[in-house]
Amino acid sequence: MRRFLTVRHDAFPLRAPFRIARGVKTAADVVTVTIRQGDAQGWGEGVPYPRYGETIDGAIAAIEAVRALIEHGATRADIAGAMPAGAARNAVDCALWDLEARLAGTSVATLAGIPPVAALASAITIGIDTPQAMAQVARGVARVPLLKIKVDREGAADQIAAVRAVAPTPRLIVDPNESWRVGDIADRLPMLLAQRVDLLEQPVPAGEDEGLADLAGAIPICADEALHTRADLDRLAGRYSHVNVKLDKTGGLTEAWALATEARARGFGVMMGCMVCSSLGIAPAMLVAGGADFVDLDGPLWLATDRPGGVRDDGGILSPPQPGFWGTPACA
């Protein structure tokens, strides 16, 4: 039976500006894909990221280029061979997973042999601001299990100290988004250890990370921009202790699960992350997050209004979407 593809740009205004070292966002711009076959319809979402040379228009064009392939029954393996890893393929891959599960009358978890999604501790992110403003945000979430602080190069020590002073108990991820250099880590290592930083996420530019090997074991360091697919793991060994798996980098749930599995087998710790997105981007990521050491899936919490039926947060504990939202039967 023939399928029918729909692809569109959706924009979700944020409840507050999201500031990181390389810029600020005021809306989550996503590409939404739906694939219909008979009475069943699957959907998926991708977030094109300028850091990787992606745009909304480019992602839509990439999906349109494989329209005939999709509508004439392409499998997820076919799509992996026809599209490069990235946000466009993520949207298609996740829509195909959802469609396949609905046609089979089961869940994506059952179909993939992945443990069912359960509530899990997920980071609450504090964007870059003055130390005083960041501390004010941190006071409101001081009892969550895991905090993530976005920092820049110049003000990082004060930003981290301000948050830690009012939130002494959560595990702590610090994310400079490639704004530091290797020497900055060495200089700030006593401060990072004193502030009990659990994970330092992509502190240096992805192409300038050779020197991280000299810091191996000093503090856990996670690859984000430096990691996309399994093909990157060889280069990261000895430089990073952890890897941040994101569906928009891997090109969907299929490669994300394979990447997380191989990374663990090779001795890397795993972080499951996301872009600023709606719950449609988080539902498939939660399947991979069950085995992660760190989970950072609070993208939808930044939206002024999420998609109906999406994920729910209660004090840093993220619950999956309502049955029928993505990947589960409506009666689950």
State the pLDDT at residue 1.
81
DSSP per-residue codes, 34-83: EEEETTEEEEEEE---GGGT--HHHHHHHHHTTHHHHHTT--HHHHHHHS
Give residue 22's pLDDT band: very low, low, confident or very high (50, 70, 90): confident
> To the nearest whole number, what is the mean pLDDT of the chain?
97
Task: Give me 153's structure tokens.
Answer: 């190069």
- The three-point CA angle 157-159-165 to 5° equals 95
The architecture CATH gives domain 4-105: 2-Layer Sandwich (3.30)
> Per-residue pLDDT tens for 172-204?
999 999 999 999 999 999 999 999 999 999 999
pLDDT tens-digit profile of 112-147?
A: 999 888 899 999 999 999 999 999 999 999 999 999
Packing angle between helix 56-64 and helix 87-104, nearest 10 degrees?
50
Angle between helices 87-104 and 253-265 (to 10 degrees): 100
Residues annotated as catalytic (active site), given as ranges: 150, 246
Closest CA to 9 of 26, 40, 31: 31
pLDDT confidence of residue 95: 98
For the chain, percent of residues with pLDDT exceeding 90: 96
How long is the chain? Answer: 332
Please, which residues bridge with residue 305 across strands? none
Q: Which residues contact 171 (CB under 8 A, 6 or more apart)?
A: 145, 146, 147, 198, 294
What is the chain's percent helix, strand, coil content, to nearest 5?
A: 40, 25, 40
Span 120-319: which CATH code? 3.20.20.120
pLDDT > 70 fraction of the chain, expressed in percent and rounded:
99
Q: pTM of the predicted model, to two decimals?
A: 0.96
The CB density around residue 110, as the number of other CB atoms within 10 Å, is: 15
Mean pLDDT for 50-69 is 97
CB 243 within 8 A of CB 270: yes
Residues 6+ apart with CB under 8 A from 194: none
The pLDDT value given to residue 330: 81
| pLDDT above 70 (res 332) | no
Query: How many distinct helices (H) and strands (E) make up the chain?
Result: 12, 14
Domains of the chain, residue spans: 4-105, 120-319
pLDDT band at 219 (very low <50, low <70, confident <90, very high): very high
